[in-house]
């Protein structure tokens, strides 16, 4: 039995709610037929957005949603998606085997409505590859300018007199692959052009700028290339004056593509272990990247004049993460994956990596929210199905804004993962048993006077179980008995492949 000591004084950093971000893209049925059904659909909807999705996300309250891509963003022209829907052009989307026409029914206005309905901040990713600086600038003006310019009036006419006040702007996507197969220095040159044309939306000379500009970080799955990308990009930024830049966007997928027999819902013990271990690799990657960014920042030259500024800080964000199983490549709709307890465990472990590295990563978006890869929600005709990943995000909501704690283990067990946070007198503990087959017993030592106030568990009889239209609640979180805390210690029996969240008050 492993004992985990939880001390609310042993703090790491505040857990930014933005670590629980979401990502949606026009791929497969994420948007078309997934979250967007259109106002004339017999499927219940709120102004065209599927009611089941809106209700689920409104309860989850994701802090941020990234859109329109992904790769799709680098061929997206924002003007195609504004104004009356019957006048919008039809284009063709080949991204990731989608191979479908795109009627642009879900554009800027619809995305902003979604964000408003679910209480999320928008992250817009601009088209660096096939778009222009002028196009980016116009989109920003259309979204954020509050005064009577032609673009502000156009927004008011189409949708909203009030500016959308979009804060997060990504500049291109995966510039090292589908975003242009660029070298870091070529991307840095492009970034400089785009970033320097961004309006500031300040209303006075002394106001601070609320924009958060996100540059392409590396492919987290390529150990050599990802180091070079970040080193060379920082080097290119240090070669001359630095443009405004707030963050680098690292992408990390947990690839599960080696074994043709392994599918999202049919896997062996070996396949289970491979996916669990693969997910945990992200922790080393974020540390490596943070170190490379910090090293690069030390090389920024001192400005020659007090009028110039030196780049001193650069955040690390993870704009895309999640399991990517082999079958997603051939699936129709494109990139659709079922979600079992294996995915729920890696989702929990990844969020816990971000939680305990709240000082390293500032924002993270799971790929993707609906019907694509590591989804929280699946749709099947009129049915909206919440996956076990949705339950993990719901259970973990309690950590948003809390302080991450360092947890000490008496003798580490590779299957048992514990994370804890504190806020006021509450301590919230995540307890994941990542073994596919073995139960375990865990002891938590807690501050004097602590008592359990809630205990939720996500577990199922078979790790391959998943939720479907026919059986939507097969894997669902439930309340479990409260453990008794005796002399500052609580002993908890954990079933195999299970996720628990316990709250204690002092
Ligand atoms: O999430 C699916 C795709 O994966 C995104 O479009 C792209 O950015 C990444 O390669």
**Poorest-pLDDT segment among 179-188, 193-202, 299-308, 442-451:** 299-308
| Predicted confidence (pLDDT) per residue in 5-19, tens digit | 999 999 999 999 999
The reported pLDDT for the residue numbered 205 is 77
Domain end (from 356, 382, 399):
399
> Residue 4 domain-assigned?
no
Query: Do 178 and 252 fall within a single domain?
Result: yes
Q: Which of ligand 1's atoms lies nearest the C-alpha of 73? A: 6
Taking the centre of ligand 1 as the mean of its atom positions, its distance from the CA of residue 93, in whole angstroms, is 14
| CATH number of the domain to which 414 belongs | 2.60.40.1180
> Residue 3 domain-assigned?
no
| pTM (two decimals) | 0.97
Q: Please tell me the residue having the least CA distance from ligand 1 atom 2.
A: 70
| Predicted confidence (pLDDT) per residue in 147-165, tens digit | 889 999 999 999 999 999 9
Query: Do 305 and 435 fall within a single domain?
Result: no
| Predicted confidence (pLDDT) per residue in 296-314, tens digit | 999 999 999 988 889 999 9
Instruction: Inform me whether the pLDDT recorded for 206 exceeds 80.
Output: no
Q: Which of ligand 1's atoms lies nearest the C-alpha of 25? A: 6
Distance in angstroms between the alpha carbons of the first and the last residue of the chain: 25
| 412 vs 367 pLDDT, higher one | 367
Query: Do 413 and 366 fall within a single domain?
Result: no
User: What CA–CA distance (Å, rounded) separates 174 from 249?
Assistant: 9
Catalytic residue among 121, 320, 331, 459: 320
> Residue 207 domain-assigned?
yes
The reported pLDDT for the residue numbered 308 is 86
The reported pLDDT for the residue numbered 336 is 97
**Poorest-pLDDT segment among 17-26, 93-102, 211-220, 433-442:** 93-102
| Predicted confidence (pLDDT) per residue in 247-257, tens digit | 999 999 999 99
Q: What is the mean pLDDT of residues 187-202?
A: 96
| Residue in 22, 29, 68, 71 to alter for ligand 1 test, most ligand atoms within 8 A of Cβ | 71
361: domain range? Answer: 17-399
Instruction: Inform me whether the pLDDT recorded for 1 exceeds 90.
Output: no
| Residue in 23, 26, 27 to alter for ligand 1 test, most ligand atoms within 8 A of Cβ | 27
> Residue 6 domain-assigned?
no
User: What CA–CA distance (Å, rounded) separates 430 from 155?
Assistant: 44
Instruction: Inform me whether the pLDDT recorded for 398 exceeds 80.
Output: yes
The reported pLDDT for the residue numbered 207 is 83
**Poorest-pLDDT segment among 58-62, 219-223, 407-411:** 407-411
Query: Do 184 and 46 fall within a single domain?
Result: yes
Taking the centre of ligand 1 as the mean of its atom positions, its distance from the CA of residue 367, in whole angstroms, is 8
| Predicted confidence (pLDDT) per residue in 427-480, tens digit | 999 999 999 999 999 999 999 999 999 999 999 999 999 999 999 999 999 999
Write out residues with Cβ below 6 Å of ligand 1. 25, 27, 69-71, 96, 173-174, 320, 367-368, 373
Q: Is 55 exposed, middle or buried (0-12, 13-18, 19+ CB in 10 A)?
A: middle
Taking the centre of ligand 1 as the mean of its atom positions, its distance from the CA of residue 82, in whole angstroms, is 24
> Residue 37 domain-assigned?
yes
Beta bridge partners of 457: 478, 500
Query: Do 246 and 288 fall within a single domain?
Result: yes
Q: Which of ligand 1's atoms lies nearest the C-alpha of 71? A: 6
Domain end (from 399, 428, 456):
399
Longest dimension (CA), the chain: 69
The reported pLDDT for the residue numbered 307 is 84
Helix (H) / strand (E) element for 252: namely: strand 247-256
Please check whether residue 323 is in contact with residue 275, taking contact to mean a CB–CB distance below 8 angstroms.
yes
Radius of gyration, alpha carbons of the chain: 23
Q: Please tell me the residue having the least CA distance from ligand 1 atom 7.
A: 70
User: What CA–CA distance (Å, rounded) separates 386 from 58?
Assistant: 13
- The 3-state DSSP class for residue 170 equals strand
> Predicted confidence band at 209 (pLDDT cuts at 50, 70, 90)?
confident
Query: Do 231 and 142 fall within a single domain?
Result: yes
| CATH number of the domain to which 62 belongs | 3.20.20.80
> Predicted confidence band at 167 (pLDDT cuts at 50, 70, 90)?
very high
> Predicted confidence band at 371 (pLDDT cuts at 50, 70, 90)?
very high
The reported pLDDT for the residue numbered 208 is 80
The reported pLDDT for the residue numbered 4 is 97
Query: Do 326 and 375 fall within a single domain?
Result: yes
Taking the centre of ligand 1 as the mean of its atom positions, its distance from the CA of residue 425, in whole angstroms, is 41
100 counts as catalytic = no
Write out 393-416 in H/E/C secondary structure. HHHHHHHCCCEEEEEEECCCCCCE
Query: Do 41 and 61 fall within a single domain?
Result: yes
Query: Do 342 and 424 fall within a single domain?
Result: no
Mean pLDDT value across the chain? 97
The reported pLDDT for the residue numbered 484 is 94
The reported pLDDT for the residue numbered 396 is 98
Taking the centre of ligand 1 as the mean of its atom positions, its distance from the CA of residue 438, in whole angstroms, is 35
Taking the centre of ligand 1 as the mean of its atom positions, its distance from the CA of residue 95, in whole angstroms, is 9
Q: Please tell me the residue having the least CA distance from ligand 1 atom 8.
A: 70
Residue closest to 264 by CA, chosen among 433, 392, 389? 389
Domain end (from 364, 399, 434):
399
Query: Do 391 and 470 fall within a single domain?
Result: no
Catalytic residue among 174, 190, 331, 459: 174
Q: For the chain, give the percent of residues with pLDDT over 90.
A: 95
Q: Please tell me the residue having the least CA distance from ligand 1 atom 5.
A: 70
> Residue 199 domain-assigned?
yes
As given in the structure block, the two tokens for residue 406 are: 């360092």
Domains held by the chain: number: 2
Query: Do 64 and 85 fall within a single domain?
Result: yes
Query: Do 60 and 201 fall within a single domain?
Result: yes
> Residue 381 domain-assigned?
yes
User: What CA–CA distance (Å, rounded) separates 458 from 267?
Assistant: 20
320 counts as catalytic = yes
Taking the centre of ligand 1 as the mean of its atom positions, its distance from the CA of residue 69, in whole angstroms, is 7
Q: Please tell me the residue having the least CA distance from ligand 1 atom 1.
A: 367
> Residue 10 domain-assigned?
no
């Amino acid at each position: 039995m492993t004992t985990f000591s939880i001390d609310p004084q042993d703090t790491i950093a505040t857990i930014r709610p933005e670590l629980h971000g979401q990502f949606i893209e026009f791929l497969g049925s994420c948007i078309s037929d997934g979250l967007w059904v259109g106002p004339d659909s017999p499927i219940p909807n709120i102004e065209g957005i599927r009611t089941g999705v809106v209700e689920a996300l409104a309860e989850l309250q994701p802090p941020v949603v990234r859109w329109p891509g992904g790769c799709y963003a680098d061929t997206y022209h924002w003007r195609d998606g504004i104004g009356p829907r019957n006048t919008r052009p039809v284009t063709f989307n080949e991204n990731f085997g989608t191979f479908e026409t795109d009627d642009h029914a879900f554009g800027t206005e619809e995305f902003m409505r979604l964000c408003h309905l679910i209480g999320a901040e928008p992250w817009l990713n601009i088209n660096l590859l096939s778009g222009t600086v002028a196009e980016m600038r116009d989109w920003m003006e259309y979204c954020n300018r509050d005064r009577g310019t032609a673009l502000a009036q156009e927004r008011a006419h189409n949708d909203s007199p009030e500016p959308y006040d979009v804060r997060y702007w990504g500049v291109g996507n995966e510039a090292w692959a589908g975003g242009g197969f660029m070298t870091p220095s070529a991307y840095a040159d492009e970034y400089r052009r785009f970033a320097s044309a961004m309006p500031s939306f300040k209303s006075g000379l002394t106001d601070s700028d609320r924009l958060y500009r996100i540059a392409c970080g590396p492919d987290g799955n390529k150990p050599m290339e990802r180091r070079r990308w970040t080193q060379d990009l920082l080097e290119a930024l240090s070669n001359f004056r630095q443009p405004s830049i707030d963050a680098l966007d690292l992408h990390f997928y947990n690839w599960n593509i080696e074994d043709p027999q392994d599918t999202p819902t049919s896997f062996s013990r070996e396949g289970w272990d491979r996916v669990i271990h693969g997910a945990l690799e992200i922790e080393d990657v974020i540390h490596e990247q943070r170190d490379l960014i910090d090293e690069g920042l030390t090389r920024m030259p001192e400005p020659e004049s007090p009028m110039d500024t030196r780049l001193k800080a650069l955040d690390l964000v993870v704009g895309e993460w999640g399991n990517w199983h082999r079958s997603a490549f051939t699936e129709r709709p494109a990139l659709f994956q079922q979600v079992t307890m294996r995915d729920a465990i890696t989702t929990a472990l990844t969020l816990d990596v971000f939680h305990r590295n709240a000082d390293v990563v500032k924002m993270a978006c799971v790929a993707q929210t609906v019907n694509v890869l590591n989804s929280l929600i699946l749709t099947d005709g009129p049915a909206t199905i919440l996956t076990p990943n949705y339950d993990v995000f719901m259970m973990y909501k309690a950590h948003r804004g809390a302080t991450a704690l360092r947890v000490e283990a008496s003798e580490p067990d590779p299957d048992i993962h514990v994370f804890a946070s504190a806020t006021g007198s509450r301590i919230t503990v995540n307890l994941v048993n990542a073994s596919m087959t073995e139960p375990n017993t865990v002891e938590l030592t807690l501050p004097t006077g602590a008592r359990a106030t809630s205990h939720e568990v996500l577990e199922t009889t078979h790790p391959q179980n998943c939720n479907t239209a026919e059986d939507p609640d097969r894997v669902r979180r439930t309340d479990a008995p409260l453990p008794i805390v005796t002399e500052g210690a609580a002993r908890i029996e954990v079933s195999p492949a299970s996720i628990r969240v316990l709250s204690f008050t002092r």
